[in-house]
Amino acid sequence: MTFKANIKRYDNFTYRRCGRSGLQLPPVTLGLWHNFGGKQMSKESKKMIFQAFDRGVTHFDLANNYGPPYGSAESNFGKIISSDLRKYRDELIISSKAGYDMWPGPYGEWGSKKYITASLDQSLERMQLEYVDIFYSHRFDPLTPLEETADALAQAVYQGKALYVGISSYSSKQTIIMNKLLKERGIKCLIHQPSYSMINRWIEKDLIKTLKKLGIGCIAFSPLAQGMLSEKYLKTVPKNSRAAQNSSLDKKMITSSYKLKIHNLSKIAKKRNQTLSQMAIAWVLRHSTMTSALIGARTINQLNECIDSLKNLKFSNSEIKQIDKFAKEEKINLWETSSKY
């Protein structure tokens, strides 16, 4: 049976302006980094996409190498576009990225015009789309002139393959430079996608201020620190968790100091009638510059829990002070290298 969207999906949902632009994004975005790859998308994953849209989440975030295997998340999403979501295309914001390793050889990663152009063409083919709404440079490339990466992003817009462009995991310094380069090419840098959470606060040093000054939107990925900002790791490491699989989350990150922080943060969340995960998402969204929190989910229950965080986004000064006692760096920023330049 073909999917038919809930006619009331926009009734109780507030969207946020993306920097100084005309584009509004949902405060929660569904990312397809994990759980949407493979030869065929699972029924649960497909249901999550429909459930997200039914609840007003219009933004779906992908990248060329999401899976595993690489490209499979985009291919699977493309099948859903073809079978169920094509008629809703004008209501969707679909983003993709290029920057990390995608195929063998010297042209399969980083920020050259050769790689970025080929990657976007491949992504469009996999997703069965004529254009993406947002296309990102996924990481800063220290060996390619930033002018060349800017040329590739601008070309994507001028060729009609992307409506907007953005950057991910760039430092404040490189963000300023890229914004200037794109502006010189008649293109706006719409949005920055950095990692950010209660235990990964690097953007607070200067990036968040830079984005506000430049009028660039911000979408925080990994606001739950890959599940670390939940109570799942307090007692043991669950078998199906990322830490158990030692994939993008190392067991060594589950330290005693981390567990103590989570225990205390959970107490604060309960007083707010929220789960820790819900409070963590709300906390990320407390910044006026923050357009959206990019979440991942394994089940519909997890998805709904995340979206329900929007029911309580207000924090008292007392709550912020309490949270700050325990919301300390845990050295979990896997993407730190890209933002060091």
Kindly report, residue by residue over 188-216, the tens digit of the pLDDT: 999 999 999 999 999 999 999 999 999 99
Residue 294 and residue 195: Cα distance in Å, rounded?
9
- State the pTM of this model: 0.95
Residue 19 has pLDDT above 50, yes or no: yes
How does pLDDT run across 55-66, given as a tens digit for each residue? 999 999 999 999
Residue 244 has pLDDT above 50, yes or no: no
Q: 42-56, 119-133, 156-170, 251-265: which has the minimum mean pLDDT?
A: 251-265
Q: 104-108, 157-161, 253-257, 303-307: which has the minimum mean pLDDT?
A: 253-257
How does pLDDT run across 135-151, given as a tens digit for each residue? 999 999 999 999 999 99
Query: What is the model's pLDDT at position 95?
Result: 98
pLDDT range class, residue 238, cuts 50, 70, 90 = low
Q: What b/e sequence results for 215-243 when a residue is b if at least 16 CB atoms lie within 10 Å of its CB, and e otherwise?
A: bbbbbbbbbbbbbbbbebbeeeeeeebbb
The distance from CA 88 to its chain's CA centroid, rounded to whole angstroms, is 21
CA dihedral 279, 228, 74, 247 (to 10 degrees): 180
Three-state SS string across 208-239, please? HHHHHHHCCEEEEECCCHHHCCCCCCCCCCCC
Query: What is the model's pLDDT at position 74?
Result: 98
E runs forming strands in 39-152 = 59-61, 93-98, 132-137
Residue 242 has pLDDT above 60, yes or no: no
Q: Within 10 A of 24 (CB to CB), how many other CB atoms are there?
A: 16
Q: 97-106, 215-224, 234-243, 252-261: which has the minimum mean pLDDT?
A: 234-243
Kindly list the domain boundaries of the chain, sorted by start residue. Answer: 16-339
223 within 8 A of 200, measured Cβ to Cβ: no
Joined tokens for residue 188: 């706006």
- The better pLDDT of the pair 140, 248 is held by 140
Q: Taking each helix axis from N to C terminus, what angle separates 43-54 and 300-307, rounded to the nearest 10 degrees?
A: 20
Residue 264 and residue 267: Cα distance in Å, rounded?
5
Cα atoms in the 13 Å half-sphere on the side-chain side of 202:
23
CATH number of 16-339: 3.20.20.100
